[in-house]
Amino acid sequence: MPRSENPFKAKRGWKQLRGKLGIGIFGVAAYFILFCAVLIFGQIAYKGAPTFVKGEAPFINTEFFTSNPEILRVWHDAEGNKFSMPDKEFDIWREQNPAAQIIAPHALNYSAGGIAGPLVGTALLVFFCMIIALFIGISAAIYLSEYCGRGRVMSIIRLSILNLAGVPSIVFALFGWGIFCHAAPVLVDSVDDRSLLSFAIGSSYLSFQGWGTSLIAGSCTLAIMVLPVIITACEESLRAVPNGFREASFALGSSQWQTIRKAVLPYALPGILTATVLGITRVAGETAPIMLTATSTDKTDMPMQALQDEGLWAFLTQSVQALPFHIYTLAKLPDDPLSKPMQHGATFAFLLLVMGFAFISILLRNRVRKKLKW
């Protein structure tokens, strides 16, 4: 038997083929998921990209990002030539061509202009949400990891926080809607009838009548939703800092706060940053909570206008447009080819935005994992 002299030589046979086939099946599963992802992403990109990507420099149609959603006017003339233009342009055009014949005019809502309002709204929601969530979340994480031990009570608390991270967003939405929109305290001149409770403070009242559909209610709801995630992730990254760092710092005579500030936080910072970006990814993509608590379908002004005109509180209690909810509105637009560019464009822009954050968070995490090994 000259052929069997090397027992480690790869054999070719049914058994081996079967092995390869088995592995192949597992591989197919992995690549199938990726294939679907590419297909969906590709479909959205293919349809959405032409809306705001141009062939020439600067390659991006900035107008799409700087103008508000507008009405698209559609009509045709006597010869059957079809026209469509955004509402504002239409007015100018009409003045210039008073003699032009307009037959069968109709208007498509939100099918022209851009997504500036929703974009800014989402940015504001995410910004305020992250401020609240990070402020509370990081402090809570520091307390849990640096000041508390791993006692029974603490571990129960930790476990509950972890459990809350998996609660569906609609439940948080319901809660935020019930509390912030309907029962949060507000300082008013006269108490509304539906106020749950009110105290007189000087000439005005502190009344628990809610903030209504508002930016602040939405941000708080999102913050509470993301809080468990932030606390858990931050605590984890704080715990990942080796105890030796702390011990060394204490040995040099620093106080606990000095230790945390100089010897723990700097090393946990990348991890905290990752958690932040992860939180942003999660918050920016949510629709249900803001649908219940913060959004309006249509809005005249950019949200910033209220800040200039009426002050901070009016700014915070105004309803805002938000990109995910705007997409939900766009999904219900008439099945008209002229509405499609906006539908797909807004979706693609939103997808890019969220995926961008997701990408950053994955990059950051990988860097943290590679760099920080003690």
Q: How far is the CB of 142 from other proteins (least distance, A)?
A: 5
**Contact status: 187 vs other proteins (CB under 8 A):** yes
Among 49, 53, 85, 188, interactor with other proteins by CB under 8 A: 188
Determine which residue in the list 125, 126, 130, 140 makes contact with other proteins, applying CB under 8 A: 140
Please check whether residue 107 is in contact with residue 72, taking contact to mean a CB–CB distance below 8 angstroms.
yes
Q: How many residues bind other proteins (CB under 8 A)?
A: 143
Among 62, 66, 97, 256, binds other proteins (CB under 8 A): 256
Buried b / exposed e over 95-117, threshold 16 CB at 10 Å, is eeeeeeeeeeeeebbbbbbbbbb
CB of 56 to other proteins, least distance (A): 28
Per the CB < 8 A criterion, the answer to whether 361 and 277 are in contact is yes
In this complex, which beta carbon is closest to other proteins, that of residue 60 or of residue 252? 252
Cβ-Cβ contacts under 8 Å for 215 (sequence gap 6 or more): 121, 124, 125, 128, 294, 303, 315, 316, 317, 318, 319, 320
**Which span (54-62, 123-131, 262-270, 287-295) binds other proteins, by CB under 8 A?**
287-295
The answer to whether residue 107 forms part of the interface with other proteins (CB under 8 A) is: yes
For residue 112, the cross-strand partners are: 70
Helix (H) or strand (E) holding 75: strand 69-76
Q: Cβ 228 to other proteins, closest distance in Å?
A: 7
CA dist., res. 288 & res. 169, Å (int): 7
Q: d(Cα 347, Cα 45) in Å, to the nearest integer?
A: 9
Do 241 and 270 meet the contact criterion of CB atoms below 8 Å apart? no
**In the chain, what is the straight-line distance between the N-terminal and C-terminal CA atoms, in Å?**
55
Of the candidate spans 50-58, 92-100, 265-273, 277-285, the one that interacts with other proteins by CB under 8 A turns out to be 277-285
C-alpha span between 258 and 252 (Å, rounded): 11
Nearer CB in complex with other proteins: 54/89: 89
Applying CB under 8 A, among 269, 359, 367, 369 the residue interacting with other proteins is 359
- Least Cα distance to 269 among 364, 362, 363 occurs for 364
Question: Is residue 186 close enough to count as binding other proteins by CB under 8 A?
Answer: yes
* Amino acid sitting at position 181: C
Question: Closest CB to other proteins among 130 and 140?
Answer: 140
Contact residue for other proteins among 167, 197, 269, 304 (CB under 8 A): 167
Q: Which parts of 194-233 interact with other proteins (CB under 8 A)?
A: 194, 206, 209-210, 212-213, 224, 227-228, 231
Q: For other proteins, which residue of 113, 118, 121, 324 counts as binding (CB under 8 A)?
A: 324
